[in-house]
Structure 1
């Protein structure tokens, strides 16, 4: 029994909706059945293939991030890990969401060409297809400005800012520490022109 071991990246970390592969080996371990079970925040799709060389290739696909217990037994007994840091079955495996900043999209008037100084602006960052990761928005321009954001339940963020002065502004957006497509954005902010009317007796004159 002590000759049976489990190893592989799937016992150290897993990814949501991806194939994760720990491997159980047992050359010369004698006869016995290999038992597999995974417990965690969601069910996991599992498969096992006999390699005909005394080892088995195990594959599992979890559907929700979180901590999972991977139980591997041989002959009804839990097996140890190959590395000294692994105490053995059940193996506690952190499963995280796949993060892909290239799938983040942005839209809204705050990124367009009609931005004016002293007028509140907004745009939307859609990360619903990019996984779960921190969003960082920074704006650089002629003067300091305040950026605020709201995280919506559908995986989008509403970004709000007000440019205090006209000029060239640069908006950088990072998701999971990486720039998203088209970032940095260059926004030209114009003056907030107001029409003032003066009555001269003959009519209104705009200035």
Structure 2
């Protein structure tokens, strides 16, 4: 397990990890500047659920929807009939109401839990694949980047059906097209490829 804190100025510092008992840990560090800090906690080089975590050192000033942040894979992509998650950080925003709506090809089942520390977690399950819009509002005003366009695809189990042919491992040239074939072999869902 590893943990580090990123200060508002971008400085990275390792955190102290204390093994409490039976898979429980305490993460300790001393903030050295005011503002929003981010703590990343990883197990086997993968972020644990909810990581990275944001918190504020110092007084909160000038709240509002523009101070709310939302992060997590559930705001980018997800799987059909699986729990997709993201986090919302409201501590900087001051007092107000939070509203979450998910619209798309089918009604999503949404679950919300307040962590009582200025952040909350949201999980949702979509019964059909497609593009969904996740709207997050604070005091009836969209937060930055809301609404989020989220592609919900078939479970990765279907992705195992895909095969690639004609992909050369070497011999490619700069600024020249590289091509290969993807056989879906009956897999359902939207195909997305990135380099």
Q: Bigger radius of gyration, 1 or 2? A: 1
State the TM-score, normalized to the length of structure 1. Answer: 0.46
